Amino acid sequence: MRNIYISIGSNIGDRATHIRRAVVGLALRGVRMVKQSRLYETEPVELREQEWFLNGVIEVETDQKPAQLMEMLLTIERAAGRERTVPKGPRTIDMDILLFGDQVIHEGNLEIPHPRMANRRFVLVPLADIAPDAVHPTLHRTIAELLEATTDRSEVRHA
């Protein structure tokens, strides 16, 4: 299936290497990357007292179901040393499913489309790089429209 978008970010250590390794980890598990956005330096938005992030978005193809893909992302995060000790805190790697085609999913801890993506410039800017015309399945607006309308004014700059 196509039109699956995953946000990917890091703010610990060699951020770019963590991101590259996570993408390779997906490929090794049979997930094919279709497109990758540029990487952006982004300021933390919820827990502000931490290092800036390096963020991007990838479009992938996979035969995995959404819950299987999310479990794969969590496995890659754990393998990269991700520890969830401080909510919204520093992390070696963070990956979230933003959109899974036009599916709307609420299963346990899995929510697709990502529930806060329309309010996060660090997601919308790189997503607009590769899919400005993708339509959010519940808000019925394109990514470009969501980016223009967001009230988030956090800094997002080319890395």
pLDDT in tens, 42-101: 998 876 777 999 999 999 999 999 999 999 999 999 888 777 666 776 888 999 999 999
Q: Which fold has domain 4-158?
A: Alpha-Beta Plaits (3.30.70)
Would you call 96 a catalytic residue per the annotation?
yes
* Residues 52, 36, 145: CA angle, nearest 5 degrees: 80
- Residue-level pLDDT at 45: 84
Please tell me the predicted confidence (pLDDT) of residue 86: 64
Q: Which stretch of 21-30, 84-93, 139-148 has the lowest confidence by average pLDDT?
A: 84-93
Q: Which of the following is catalytic: 14, 48, 91, 133?
A: 91
- Convert the pLDDT of each residue in 98-134 to its tens digit: 999 999 999 988 999 999 999 999 999 999 999 999 9
Structure tokens given for 47 = 């827990």
Contacts of 11 (CB under 8 A, 6+ apart): 44, 50, 51, 52, 53, 54, 90, 91
Say which of 32, 78, 96, 152 is annotated catalytic.
96
- Mean pLDDT for 133-139 is 97
**For position 47, what pLDDT does the model report?**
67
Q: Which one is catalytic: 82, 84, 129, 153?
A: 82
> Which of 2, 38, 48, 94 is flagged as catalytic?
94
Annotated active-site residue 91? The verdict is yes
Told to judge if 102 belongs to the known catalytic residues of this protein, a careful annotator would answer no
- Domain ranges across the chain: 4-158
Give this prediction's pTM.
0.94
Q: Is 120 a catalytic site residue?
A: no
Structure-model confidence comparison of residues 154 and 80, the more confident one: 154
Strand-pair partners of 58: 6, 36
Rg (CA), the chain: 14
